[in-house]
Homo-oligomer: A and B are copies of this chain.
Amino acid sequence: MARPPKARLPLKQAALELFVEHGVHGTGIRDIAKHAGCSEAALYRHWANKDALVNALFREHLGDVRTILEQAIAEEAAFEDKVRAACRSCYKLYDEHLQVFRFVLLVQHELAKSLPTDLRMPQDVVTDLIKAAVVNGDLRREVKGEESLMAAAVIGIFLETAVFVLYNRLPGPLSRYVEQVTQAALRVVRR
């Protein structure tokens, strides 16, 4: 191999920070390069263009979130514990890597059009969790056919609480709400 890539990681880090801070459209190549301490052209060796960078970054971090969720859920046996673990793992990510969390949240709507349909999303993980609980008998049969609706409710409770903390409608850190949010979610899915 020739020179080991030196700008790749700084560029990703800089892009993440600036995208979250000023939005994807509000952040220029120039800003990213300057913040990363390298030239603008360096970016184009690693990604075809700005869009490609955004997409790569999104896929990567979305994968992280999904993995965190899946692992947390897999490590618990009871449904309630799975829900709590899911919540705790995500809120931990929020508190420790706010930028990753915000980026995934932020860009999701902006990229909705250009995302491949085969991409497994965190929403899918939660939906599957609920479907499995219905099958297992952890949730009443009446929920049958409403799994997606229940998933929407659970995700909504998870996310909007984070949004409230983000915009200072609730005091942080987010993790302090794990138990309350978990109980709220459980009250929704358990009739």
Contacts and interface: CB of A to CB of B under 8 A. Distances in A.
Secondary structure of the A contact surface, majority rule: helix
Interface stretch (A63-71, A93-101, A181-189): A181-189
Nearest to A22: B113
A25 interface: yes
A146 interface: yes
A164 interface: yes
Interface string A155-191: 1111111011001011000000100110010011000
A148 interface: yes
Interface size grouping (class) on chain A = 35 or more
Given A105-B109, A155-B160, 13 more contacts: A22-B113, A25-B26, A109-B109, A127-B169, A149-B181, A152-B170, A153-B160, A156-B159, A156-B160, A156-B161, A157-B188, A159-B160, A187-B188
12 contacts: A105-B109, A109-B109, A112-B167, A148-B170, A153-B156, A153-B157, A153-B161, A153-B181, A153-B184, A156-B157, A160-B160, A188-B188
